[in-house]
Chain A
Amino acid sequence: MERKILKWYEEDYPQKLLNIKKYPEALHYIGNRKLLNNSNGIVAIVGARKCTEYGRKYARIFATELSKAGITIISGLAIGIDAQAHIGALKGRGNTIAVIAGGLDNITPEENKWLYNEIIFNNGIVITECEDEEKIKEKSYEKRNRIISGIADVVLIVEANKRSGSMITARHAKNQGKPIFCLPHRLDEECSSGMYELVKSGATIAMNVNQILSKIEHKENEVEKHNIIKEVEIPEQYKEIFCLLEKEMSRDEIAIALKKQIAEINAKLTIMELEGYIKQINPNTFIRN
């Protein structure tokens, strides 16, 4: 698809972006420019590159559910939470906005090139304020983040350490007067201090999709009730393992905790994974699905 340029005075230029200080005068883009002013609302979902399985899961779920409700998801095409937000959106209505830090010649990271292609293929859009050949500099990410929060109506921070790019996005969002949501986290996760900072400075804890939808002037009248947490019926013989896997655990830890033979645990893990109750996140570690 062709690369094009969108100037600030054009109709399709994201109008909300004009409200921020130092808005980019031109956006370079590939894809569906109509998305930038989606009247149903735009939600930014961002977070850490190095993230927990829990964060990835809910980034994906929130993105899918919001997307199904007509919202456009915007994020930064980074690995980790950002990628999951885009993937979730692709599973919903399918279209999503990615804002990249460098020029369109330099799609990084390499691992997410496939995602970049998927986004464009699915009627989404990839934008940047940089010239095509521009390389990523130290400040590029910070500058990019102001565009993400600038275009969005609401910002959802899924996971962020105290000093991280996502906190910068949150700061931009605050300065721009956008409502900020953040995901509840465990105390023993590294990011929880960052999330606490956010809540202290006025962010809301996101418990469900409706909460976010209520902050957006929503044009679609029929929004179904969205339930994030599903109750699953687990057969008796798998219950004890399922209960343990609230947090990620290795097969050895499970066997030790339940005082059972590893052979028995292994057999059960296979069946539980195939039934979709749990999933394997790396060769030795499992978690609830």
Chain B
Amino acid sequence: MLRGPLEEGKVTISRVNASITYPSRFMFIASMNPCPCGYYGSEDKECTCSKKEIAKYMNKISGPLLDRFDIQIEVTPVKYINLQNNEKIESSEKIKERVNKARNIQIERYKKYNIFSNSELTPNLIQKFCNLNNESHKLMKSAFEKLGLSARAYNRILKVARTISDLDCKEKIECKHIAEAIQYRNLDRKYWKN
């Protein structure tokens, strides 16, 4: 299964004669429809699926697997009017610059620790580099109580918040970074209960 390799960055194959371990460090990106017909939550077209079908469809991804995605976001269909929208949008070129900057911050920060990026932080290093101030602690606490996030989500939110604050060129993780990171764990939450 994917879960082991996702967590450890290694894949082990065991056969009669031998057991071999290969490196398996990859970035896992996936997409799915919200329901079998694809229109659940859409404004323009009505979804024809029953609640039961939607729940069944969502259950195809096990909770534990979903939990291991650092970022989960839902996107809405792009409307024609937005396709020809002339408002200035940040170009990919600009975004690349920002990403590279954040990346360099991370390489610099972790050079003594033999890792390159936030995603590789071990629980020990998370404690060292993802310190929260009181305000952020409070926010995390109430998010866990009210939004029903899983324990596994905790470290992942911290890592994503660390990355957001790197993109923001801030040394410390701020409350707004945590708040934004929490927003990216959408599918964790329980929606389809009436």
Contacts and interface: CB of A to CB of B under 8 A. Distances in A.
Interface stretch (B9-17, B108-116, B182-190): B182-190
A111 to B, nearest CB: 6
Interface in A141-193: none
B180 to A, nearest CB: 4
Given A83-B194, A111-B51, A281-B191, A263 B41 contact: no
A223 interface: no
Interface stretch (A10-18, A36-44, A206-214, A266-274): A266-274
A270 B51 contact: no
Interface string B39-78: 0110000000001100100000000000000001111100
Interface residues of A, number: 29
Contacts of B55: 111
Interface stretch (B22-30, B123-131, B138-146): B138-146
B176 interface: yes
Interface string A257-287: 0000001101111110110000011111100
A282 B58 CA distance: 13
A121 B194 CA distance: 19
A285 B182 CA distance: 15
Nearest to A84: B194
B41 A283 contact: yes
Nearest to A270: B179
A109 B53 CA distance: 13
Among B34, B72, B177, B194, the one with the most A-chain Cβ atoms within 10 Å of its Cβ is B194
A110 interface: yes
Main SS at interface, chain B: helix
Interface string B150-194: 000000000000001000000000001101101110110101001
B76 A270 contact: no
Interface SS majority for chain A: helix
Contact of A271 (B40, B52, B139, B184): B139
Contacts of B179: 266-268, 270-271
A190 to B, nearest CB: 10
A109 B51 CA distance: 10
A51 to B, nearest CB: 11
A98 interface: no
A270 B143 contact: yes
A230 to B, nearest CB: 19
A265 to B, nearest CB: 9
Interface of A: 79, 83-84, 87, 109-112, 115, 250-252, 256, 263-264, 266-271, 273-274, 280-285
Given A270-B143, A271-B179, 14 more contacts: A87-B194, A111-B52, A111-B194, A256-B82, A264-B176, A269-B183, A270-B183, A282-B40, A283-B187, A283-B189, A284-B41, A284-B76, A284-B186, A285-B41
State the 10 A-B residue pairs at the shortest beta-carbon distance, nearest first: A283-B74, A266-B183, A267-B179, A270-B179, A283-B186, A267-B176, A267-B180, A284-B74, A266-B180, A270-B182
17 contacts: A79-B51, A111-B51, A111-B55, A115-B194, A251-B183, A264-B176, A266-B179, A266-B180, A267-B180, A267-B183, A270-B139, A271-B139, A273-B146, A282-B40, A283-B41, A283-B74, A283-B186
